[in-house]
Structure 1
Amino acid sequence: MPSSSEISGEDLASWLSDRVSSGGAVAVRDFEFPKAGFSNETIFFWASSGVGRDKSEARYVLRREGTGSAIYPVQNPAVPSSIETQSGVLEALAKAEFRLAPEVIAYEPTDAPLGRPFFVMNFVEGRVLPDFPSYTAEGFFKDEASPSVRRNHSETGLAGMAEMHRLDWRQAGLAWLDRGLESSSRMKSQLALWRGYVESVPGCRGNALLDRSLHWLEQNRPTESEPALSWGDARIQNMIFDDAGTCQSILDWEGAAILPPEVDLAWWLGVDHFVHEGSGIERLPGELQQSEQISYYESRLGRTVCDMPYYRVFAAFRTVALMVSTFDRLAAMGIPNAGSSEDNPYEPLLADALESAAKT
């Protein structure tokens, strides 16, 4: 875990002075390091400028490139940085006036100020539902939230995702994310990308389930719906909610791509299943069943979703590959019992999804 001593407050303040204070002096304080993923560092801090009645201060979030390679495969070789991808997507969403995107203050592409590229965005107040322990097992959502608040989490989260999928991503300037420029099929190019990914991850090579699933996905590509901006890590735990359970912001865009909206919905449903039925946890009063979630999402998207069994296999396949990649990273860091294919909790879900889809 990094500490504030590894972030130069003086250098960060100097960098911020031209961006939040028109060149005036800036003071930074109260660094916090929340638990985050493996590819980027997340740092909260306060910054103030001015004196007396002219003094202003605000809380910000800094996202800095990690020391290893990105967790997700690179959509555009010209933009290999996970941090650059995220800041680029957020800036495009701001251009499109998407209300659930945190505002990026600025992106720094060089190592000079803080050792690695980073961007700073406004801090959004609210609650993030945790992964560990799962929000369905203990904590606010399970023990304190009313049924109406639980329902609001699901509905406003799905509504926010559908709103994002309705955006004109071309007009927003996101064509650089589109791997389907030379093909009518985004999934064809995406599967080629993921084939290269699993071949590059030692723990994925020779995994019979991944090989079988990828072959099935390549042989059974459906007619695709109109592509949209795909969030990549579409799950309720990557959103910020107020106390009423209303979604305030969507987080973590490093897996963003241009794909059919069904890709995100399938990922959302896969994670939802894992933290409920897949973990032996019953749904609480107010929580939507999966069929209700699909219907509600369709009502906000404005059309019926297609070929969900196929996209559920793709979601589970990606999850297993990413989990194995994470196991490899942990092992490389010298962490004992980091995990392996044998105890990957998502492999049974992939096997079930593949078997079910093959019957349709």
Structure 2
Amino acid sequence: MSDVSSTTKNAASGIVAPEVRDLDVLAESLAGWLGNKMPAAENIRIVNLSYPLGAGMSHETILFDALWGEGGSEQRKGMVVRIKPMRHLVYQDDMFEQQFKLMQLMRDSGHVRVAEPLWFDSDPELLGAPFFIMEKVAGRVAVSYPPYSQEGWLVDTPPAQRRKLWTDAVTQLAAIQKVPVADAGFLNLPGEFSENFDQEVDRWRRYLDWVDPDGQAALLRKGFDRLLAARPDNRPEGLVWGDARLGNMMIGDDHKVAVVMDWEQPSLGGALHDLGWWLCSDRTQTETRGIPTLDGMGSRDETIALWSEVSGKSAADIDWYEAFAMFKMECLGIRMVALRDMPMAPGHVPGRQLAAYLDR
């Protein structure tokens, strides 16, 4: 089994994974394991192992290249191993195997571009936890820190190419809703619900109790109650990606989405949850920081219109879903502070941003 250490020892390197292990030991382990998966392969070598920097807090994710001989020629394939977190959990629901199945479903549907899921191993013996391997895809990511609208490659991209990127990104977001809910029954969450919409609401009720067991986040809880009392009339069926934002899309050299990534918290909770999260996330990268939207990147209204056109679903009551996304983000903020073992920022009160949004 590979040696595993806490992320706190690796913060200076830019690695933020929940665990960090000896990559030389991992290379040897993966080479032997791949030999069983690829019986025709000879002399398998694992090289170029690395953690993606500045991302990956929820899962340990390691990039690598596999080299081998087969049929008299040398083969090479970029791969990624994603390992189930066993501690330092960002989320309380275990959806590890479900994310692999969902990636398979999305790829098979032909609607959504995802990295090819290759193998899943539920046995924790090799790496200390279940894991899966998928293909490695080349591209760039619009990072959140620093904000991608303020600095980085997206700022340097010409407006016409940004427009192409934005259009394809929102189209891919909407294309998720072309995959039938009936094909994803494996995403059902524990409990009995009169409709799938309630699965997502219940998940975040449980999450709030998990991150705030003593009920200290009174303002945030009040905001959640206000959201429940204002339940939207428009609750279209649909899959929930879970972390729907530009930063979770790999962008290719053609300024189109190469793959949609990070499916660790999906559900059947309804199509508009992802659109609400996307709009809320985009606002945190621009408006709330006083940063103007980059030329070529669509406005809120344009995003809603394009998403509705491609998905074929109404975005009525989207304000409620944006507010619910803000509630989720504030819950996650509590958890991230706890994981980093840091005090809450002076003057920060969980729920204040949500309250301000609801009181507009």
| Shared fold per TM-score greater than 0.5 | yes
Bigger shift: residues 24-33 or 258-267? 24-33
Which amino acid in the other structure matches residue 96 of structure 1? S
Kept in 2, the 8 Å contact 1:135–1:141? The answer is: yes
Which amino acid in the other structure matches residue 285 of structure 2? V
Cα offset for 1:5? Answer: 3.6
2:180 aligned residue = 168
Matching of residue 214 in structure 1 with residue 224 in structure 2: yes
Matching of residue 44 in structure 1 with residue 63 in structure 2: yes
Cα offset for 1:226? Answer: 3.1
Q: What is the aligned counterpart of 1:109 among 118, 122, 129?
A: 122
Residues 94-140 of structure 1: CA deviation (Å, up to 9, x unaligned): 33234411111101112111222111100111111112212111111
Residues 72-102 of structure 1: CA deviation (Å, up to 9, x unaligned): 342xxxxx3x432321211222332344111
Cα 1:338/1:105, change in 2 over 3 Å: farther
**Counterparts of 2:275 and 2:101, CA distance in 1:** 23
Cα offset for 1:152? Answer: 1.8
**Counterparts of 1:324 and 1:282, CA distance in 2:** 28
User: CA RMSD for the aligned pairs?
Assistant: 2.3
Cα offset for 1:253? Answer: 0.5
1:9 aligned residue = 27
1:334 aligned residue = none
Q: What is the aligned counterpart of 1:313 among 323, 326, 335?
A: 323
Matching of residue 339 in structure 1 with residue 344 in structure 2: yes
Kept in 2, the 8 Å contact 1:179–1:186? The answer is: no
Cα 1:64/1:49, change in 2 over 3 Å: same
**Counterparts of 2:39 and 2:259, CA distance in 1:** 25
Which amino acid in the other structure matches residue 43 of structure 1? I
2:258 aligned residue = 248
Residues 255-289 of structure 1: CA deviation (Å, up to 9, x unaligned): 11112211100100001001101111112221211
**Counterparts of 2:279 and 2:195, CA distance in 1:** 23
Matching of residue 355 in structure 1 with residue 352 in structure 2: no
Kept in 1, the 8 Å contact 2:166–2:296? The answer is: no
Q: What is the aligned counterpart of 1:64 among 80, 83, 89?
A: 83
**Counterparts of 1:316 and 1:292, CA distance in 2:** 21
1:150 aligned residue = 162
**Counterparts of 1:222 and 1:285, CA distance in 2:** 33
2:203 aligned residue = 193
**TM-score, reference length from structure 1:** 0.87
Matching of residue 54 in structure 1 with residue 73 in structure 2: yes
Cα 1:73/1:305, change in 2 over 3 Å: farther
Kept in 1, the 8 Å contact 2:42–2:70? The answer is: no
Cα 1:163/1:87, change in 2 over 3 Å: same
2:104 aligned residue = 91
Q: What is the aligned counterpart of 2:293 among 283, 288, 301?
A: 283
Bigger shift: residues 211-220 or 156-165? 211-220
Cα offset for 1:64? Answer: 1.0
Cα 1:7/1:267, change in 2 over 3 Å: farther
Cα offset for 1:341? Answer: 8.2
Residues 171-192 of structure 1: CA deviation (Å, up to 9, x unaligned): 3xx1021349843333333323
Cα offset for 1:338? Answer: 5.0
Matching of residue 328 in structure 1 with residue 338 in structure 2: yes
**Counterparts of 2:43 and 2:233, CA distance in 1:** 56
Cα 1:48/1:120, change in 2 over 3 Å: same
Matching of residue 139 in structure 1 with residue 149 in structure 2: no
Aligned residues: 341
Kept in 2, the 8 Å contact 1:7–1:114? The answer is: no
Cα 1:181/1:199, change in 2 over 3 Å: closer
Cα 1:259/1:292, change in 2 over 3 Å: same
Q: What is the aligned counterpart of 1:26 among 44, 58, 79?
A: 44
Structure 2: stretches of 5+ with no match in the other structure? 1-9, 11-19
**Counterparts of 2:166 and 2:175, CA distance in 1:** 14
SS in 1 for 2:60: strand
Kept in 2, the 8 Å contact 1:14–1:25? The answer is: no
Which amino acid in the other structure matches residue 113 of structure 1? L
Cα 1:6/1:186, change in 2 over 3 Å: farther
Cα 1:170/1:23, change in 2 over 3 Å: farther
Kept in 2, the 8 Å contact 1:28–1:47? The answer is: yes
Cα 1:60/1:68, change in 2 over 3 Å: same
**TM-score, reference length from structure 2:** 0.87
Residues 140-194 of structure 1: CA deviation (Å, up to 9, x unaligned): 111x2000111122211110011111111323xx102134984333333332332
Cα 1:228/1:73, change in 2 over 3 Å: farther
